[in-house]
Structure 1
Amino acid sequence: MAKIISPLTSTEVKHAKPKEKEYNLADGNGLMLRIKPSGSKIWLFNYYRPFTKKRANLGFGQYPDVTLAKAREKRAEARALLADDIDPKDHKNQHAQAEKERLTNTLQTLYLTWFNVKKSEIKENTANEIKRMLDLHVMPKLGSIAISKLTAPMVIDIIKPISEKGKLETVKRICQRLNNIMIFALNTGVINNNPLSGINHAFEAPKVRNMPTLKPDELPKFMEDLKYASIKLTTLLLIEWQLHTITRAGEAAGAKWAEIDFTENVWVIPAERMKMKREHLIPLTDKTLDILARMKPLSGHKDYIFPSYNNPLTHTNPSTVNMAIKRMGYKDKLVGHGLRSLASTTLNEQGFDADVIEAALAHADKNEVRRIYNRADYLERRRKLMYWWSEHIEQAQIGKTTQKNNIINLKVQG
């Protein structure tokens, strides 16, 4: 016949005295209070492990921190786990480990892990910009906080001073990058939800501003101003290079001699230097070849076609064109990127195929089949377009405008 155990009372627990050797007071159903010679009293739960049926003890804490009532609650939870063949000790250890990882996975830790993955997918300049922004505005105040403890009000409070300064684009990017980190943490199992998903709605959206550009009929005046501009020869030729090749600032400034195929008269920009991360081929015209010929004595022995004035081992800063245009009196009227808009507007007005123009601008083509077709067929069509555009610019330099139908004897192969 099983031994009947009378449940303990609070008075028995409170007045249990230490003895020369430790002893136990049983409460029943595996719960007992162990009294040590030192006088400490510890709650233990004795049970059979699932499957192995070996005996084990699970500590519930020390009395009086854990009361008799609380110890009985813990016993009930443990027995419920056993009913589902879950070892309560293993369950406790796993929970403790998960909690430890949750608290040690700070925003700073997850940010660095995410960044190491992210920087392999983006350009170095973009990666540096992201790191500077988060290191300056976010990590000093939030980096040490467990990512699972972050709340929307907490983060909004940190970003609000930036918003109040009118730096709305910075606010937008901070919200985006923090959500990138949170989604990374979510996908790697560190957190179960993203409380920051809507923080961008707490701030005014940045106003969309079009890049300042010129109207097509303003090109002759710009070319006249460029001709007499007080700027270094390398900068002047870089502006002309960017204008004639219809490239982005970083692509133009970072041009290398090794990228020029003088046999086919093509500039091959590798995928890693392109915004869309795919190789871009630009047919070279007589004018762009002339620019290269003028740069050859200055940089032909270097890697970069347009080397930096301060550090010839690297290329000219992409912002150099913007600064030069600004000094020419075009502040708020034109920026380097606006040269691409000028080309696009002009070429569209002249009736060139829109797909060929988009290919020349290296814009993404969502139609994969057509993108493959572009590479095979559009290059020669783009060569005609690029020759027309270069000739148009040349005509603008002497104060004339060019009509598409007037260009007949272009030196175009194919």
Structure 2
Amino acid sequence: MTTVRALTAAECRKIDKPGFYRVADTLYLFVKKQTLRKSWVQRIVIDGKRRNIGLGSFDLVSISKAKDKALKNRIAVADGENPMIDKQRSNVPTFEIAARDMFTGLTFKNDKNRRAWIRQLEIHVFPKIGKMTVDKITGPDVLSIVKNLWKTKPATGKTIRQQVRQVLSYCQAHNYVAHNVAGEAIDGALPKNGIGTKNHRAIDYRDMPDAMKLIRDKVTSLPVRLCMQFIALTATRSNEARSARWSEIDFDSSTWIIPADRMKGKKEHRVPLSKSAMDVLEQAMPLRNPSDLIFPSAKQPHKPIVGSSISRTLQTIGLADKTTIHGFRSTFRT
């Protein structure tokens, strides 16, 4: 039987063709095809399957160090251990690192929501478990963060619990943790909180004609005035109306077709338009511009009017203590 001679360090340096080159028992020099970069790889059988374990870059790890690492792994396998699991454990991130890694891949409706998401963790979570590796975090650790908030600031407590659970689900998917300790396991330990349905202030339907007249007479900004009327007449959400586009209006059937990507429920929504709503659209015709927005901002015509401008207008004309813009939907339902 022919024995393949192991390579020396000098011979390894001269190799410039892609492939695996035997250096010692189970230890190989690997030359990558695309870049010709060299690294140490141990090819070893663990639990009946051949595995490749990376032992470092050729430029950073000496041949003697690579041999020592390979020998240590062979001894571990002979003792019934799995060096790959130990290697994975050494790569387990802290909660803060995992959260920030996950955060970079998340999508948000706007920058405000993006900043708020990470800021909540920076305030309530990172100071307590941010430096802990995620595999060391326990249910009681999560409860210690959430429990007080659950009573005093229920909405914040719920949000924090969801965020921690989300981060640990991310870690579970990457095999950093076996179980999500912020999941159902802690449900029974959390007291009932005061989170309920928030009722927006809504004007009495009998006062609606006077409110509409007030809007028509007192609101000086044409796009804001028309948008407020349109919201009240269609019972839609403020952001849906503010971002409405002419291309969404079917004038033949007097229907506003809101596409799924702009709906909270991510389903296309058809809104029948009354004669009054169609009259509002007719008044908005002079505002048409290349942006296709029905109610463009006066200062930035390529953008919709902002929600805060409507809230301020309600305050200015004296309706803020009676209703919110969202409250128009409640009035409509009555």
Q: Same fold (TM over 0.5)?
A: yes
2:137 paired with 1:150: yes
Q: Which runs of 5+ in 1 are unaligned?
A: 1-47, 61-74, 79-86, 346-414
2:86 paired with 1:96: yes
Provide the alpha-carbon RMSD of the alignment: 3.7
**Which residue is equivalent to 1:306?**
295
2:268 paired with 1:254: no
State how far apart, in whole Å, the 1-side matches of 2:230 and 2:252 are. 19
Deviations 1:223-258 (A, max 9, x none): 233233344222111111111111111111111223
Q: Percent identity?
A: 24
2:209 paired with 1:220: yes
Deviations 1:242-275 (A, max 9, x none): 1111111111111122322334432221111101
State how far apart, in whole Å, the 1-side matches of 2:117 and 2:303 are. 22
State how far apart, in whole Å, the 1-side matches of 2:170 and 2:309 are. 36
**Which residue is equivalent to 2:175?**
189
What TM-score comes out, normalization by structure 1 length?
Answer: 0.54
What does 1:331-410 correspond to in 2, within 5 Å? 331-345=320-334
Q: Is the 8 A contact 1:215 1:342 kept in 2?
A: yes
What does 1:108-147 correspond to in 2, within 5 Å? 108-112=96-100, 114-115=102-103, 118-119=106-107, 123-124=109-110, 128=114, 131-134=117-120, 136-138=122-124, 140-141=126-127, 142-147=129-134
Give how far 1:278 is off.
0.9
Q: Which amino acid aligns with 2:81?
A: H
Q: Which amino acid aligns with 1:145?
A: M
2:214 paired with 1:232: no
Q: Is the 8 A contact 1:133 1:174 kept in 2?
A: no
State how far apart, in whole Å, the 2-side matches of 1:136 and 1:149 are. 19
Aligned pair in 2 of structure 1 residues 286, 118: CA closer, same or farther (>3 Å)? Answer: same
State how far apart, in whole Å, the 1-side matches of 2:317 and 2:262 are. 29
Q: 1:169 aligns with which of 151, 155, 159?
A: 155
State how far apart, in whole Å, the 2-side matches of 1:208 and 1:50 are. 54
**Which residue is equivalent to 2:273?**
284
Number of equivalences: 266
2:307 paired with 1:321: no
Aligned pair in 2 of structure 1 residues 310, 244: CA closer, same or farther (>3 Å)? Answer: same
State the SS of the aligned residue for 1:268. strand
State how far apart, in whole Å, the 2-side matches of 1:150 and 1:327 are. 51
State how far apart, in whole Å, the 1-side matches of 2:290 and 2:48 are. 76
Q: Greater CA radius of gyration, 1 or 2?
A: 1
**Which residue is equivalent to 2:319?**
330
State how far apart, in whole Å, the 2-side matches of 1:109 and 1:193 are. 18
Aligned pair in 2 of structure 1 residues 304, 125: CA closer, same or farther (>3 Å)? Answer: farther
Q: Is the 8 A contact 2:89 2:176 kept in 1?
A: no
Q: Which runs of 5+ in 2 are unaligned?
A: 1-44, 50-67
**Which residue is equivalent to 2:56?**
none
Deviations 1:36-86 (A, max 9, x none): xxxxxxxxxxxx99989xxx99659xxxxxxxxxxxxxx9xx7xxxxxxxx
My pick for the range that moved more, 130-139 or 184-193, is: 130-139
Deviations 1:93-140 (A, max 9, x none): 1232121132x2x33443345446652xx6447853653544543565
Deviations 1:186-235 (A, max 9, x none): 34432122222338826843354311112222212322332333442221
State the SS of the aligned residue for 2:270. strand
What TM-score comes out, normalization by structure 2 length?
Answer: 0.65
State the SS of the aligned residue for 2:163. helix
Aligned pair in 2 of structure 1 residues 272, 296: CA closer, same or farther (>3 Å)? Answer: same
Q: 2:282 aligns with which of 290, 293, 300?
A: 293
